[in-house]
């Protein structure tokens, strides 16, 4: 069940060089022999051996994706976009989920250095600058999702974190909420800082001192957020509105409120960020990030640099728009 160009050449009565040329649409081949070769290849069910091709062309036609985790809805959606676009561009997709303390960085490096992929997409907020620097040494093009880099060698695609957060807080303020609680991501995460900046801007516009608005750390994790939220509620009065910097945390809070018998939004309004599928189920007002589009865009950016490594890196910002549902301001 394994047919090579050798088989085709024998069957068609030509040399393997001619077969290779015909199969790759190289200019110098008579259309007659080419037709014959193609038909033979078809009949034999020929499939070029990827390894052999990689070895001789120095190109894998595959891209690698490094995840932090993928159960989070957000990642799954971005991945869908990546796969969609990779397919139309003719690339295969390899995935690696970061493991434990060593956040898959070395796995990623190995992927690139071992000639398994032509380029990498990083979908991992824990990927810091030094890890990125090491990865650049592999010499392969890289695209980072979710961080708005300025790096001239690494392309990036990110949502408009500032604008999105600003819109969310403006919405809360316009509804009259003043007693807010913010739930941020990891302090080191760039997108969390930007979302915080968006909050500051909106608060500033309304003449509120941002420093007087309480903020707890949820590390983008529902479990962490829940712990922090409970601790906060134990020592403070319940806020009138909560803005969590991602949906996972917002949904965890909503669940906690429901269980403890607090009505959303009548007693506490909740707003999230991302618009994962579960947000719709829960009727969570949130900032929609175009996840699938971001995945597609990342592949396009990567493809551009793989085609021409000397091309400058691009940095794309996607709009993030407020989606109003029942948890805050909806009907």
Query: Is residue 28 involved in binding DNA (CB under 7 A)?
Result: yes
Tell which positions 78-107 bind its own copies, by CB under 8 A: 79-80, 83-84, 87, 92-97, 99, 107
Grouping H, G, I as helix, E, B as strand and the rest as coil, residue 121 is strand
Distance CA 41, CA 275 (A): 48
* Secondary structure (DSSP) of 150-168: --SSEEEEEE-HHHHHHHH
Query: Is residue 150 involved in binding DNA (CB under 7 A)?
Result: no
Distance CA 148, CA 5 (A): 46
Q: Which of its own copies, DNA, none binds 260 (CB below 5-8 Å, type-dependent)?
A: none
Grouping H, G, I as helix, E, B as strand and the rest as coil, residue 58 is coil
Distance CA 116, CA 114 (A): 5
Q: Which of DNA, its own copies, none binds 251 (CB below 5-8 Å, type-dependent)?
A: its own copies
Query: Is residue 69 involved in binding its own copies (CB under 8 A)?
Result: yes
Residues forming beta bridges with residue 145, ordered by sequence position = 157
The burial class, CB within 10 Å (0-12 / 13-18 / 19+), for 151 is: middle
Name the one range near DNA by CB under 7 A: 28-36, 117-125, 126-134, 289-297: 28-36
Q: Give least dist CB 216 to its own copies, A.
A: 19
Distance CA 178, CA 212 (A): 11
Query: Is residue 122 involved in binding its own copies (CB under 8 A)?
Result: no
Q: In 90-176, which ranges are continuous DSSP H helix?
A: 105-113, 129-136, 161-174
Give the residues lining the site for its own copies (CB under 8 A).
Answer: 1, 45, 47-52, 54-55, 60, 62, 69-73, 75-77, 79-80, 83-84, 87, 92-97, 99, 107, 110-111, 113-116, 137-139, 251-252, 254-255, 258-259, 277-278, 280-283, 326
Give the residues lining the site for DNA (CB under 7 A).
Answer: 2, 4-6, 13-18, 20-21, 23-24, 26, 28-30, 32-34, 46-49, 52-53, 55-57
């Amino acid at each position: 069940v394994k047919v090579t160009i050798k088989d085709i050449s024998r069957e068609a009565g030509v040399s393997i060089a001619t077969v290779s040329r015909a199969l790759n649409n190289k200019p110098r081949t008579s259309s007659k022999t080419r037709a014959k070769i193609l038909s033979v290849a078809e009949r034999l069910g020929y499939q070029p051996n990827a390894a052999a091709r990689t070895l001789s062309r120095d190109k894998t036609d595959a891209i690698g994706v490094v995840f932090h985790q993928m159960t989070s809805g957000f990642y799954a959606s971005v991945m869908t976009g990546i796969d969609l676009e990779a397919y139309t561009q003719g690339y295969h997709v390899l995935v690696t989920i970061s493991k434990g303390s060593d956040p898959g960085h070395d796995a990623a490096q190995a992927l690139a250095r071992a000639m398994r992929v032509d380029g990498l997409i990083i979908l991992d907020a824990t990927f810091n600058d030094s890890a990125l620097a090491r990865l650049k040494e592999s010499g392969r093009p890289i695209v980072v999702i979710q961080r708005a880099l300025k790096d001239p060698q690494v392309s990036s695609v990110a949502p408009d974190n500032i604008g999105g957060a600003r819109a969310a807080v403006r919405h809360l303020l316009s509804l009259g909420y003043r007693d807010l609680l913010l739930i941020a991501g990891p302090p080191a995460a760039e997108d969390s800082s930007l979302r915080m900046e968006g909050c500051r801007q909106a608060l500033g516009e309304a003449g509120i001192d941002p420093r007087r608005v309480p903020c707890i750390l949820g590390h983008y994790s529902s479990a962490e957020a829940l712990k922090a939220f409970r601790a906060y509620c134990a020592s403070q009065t319940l806020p009138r509105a909560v803005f969590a910097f991602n949906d996972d945390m917002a949904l965890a809070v909503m669940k906690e409120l429901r269980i403890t018998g607090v009505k959303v939004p009548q007693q506490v309004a909740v707003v999230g960020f991302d618009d994962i599928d579960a947000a719709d189920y829960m009727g969570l007002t949130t900032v929609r990030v175009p996840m699938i589009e971001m995945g597609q865009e990342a592949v396009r950016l990567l493809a551009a640099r793989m085609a021409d490594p000397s091309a400058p890196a691009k940095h794309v910002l996607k709009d993030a728009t407020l989606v109003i549902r029942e948890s805050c301001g909806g009907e």
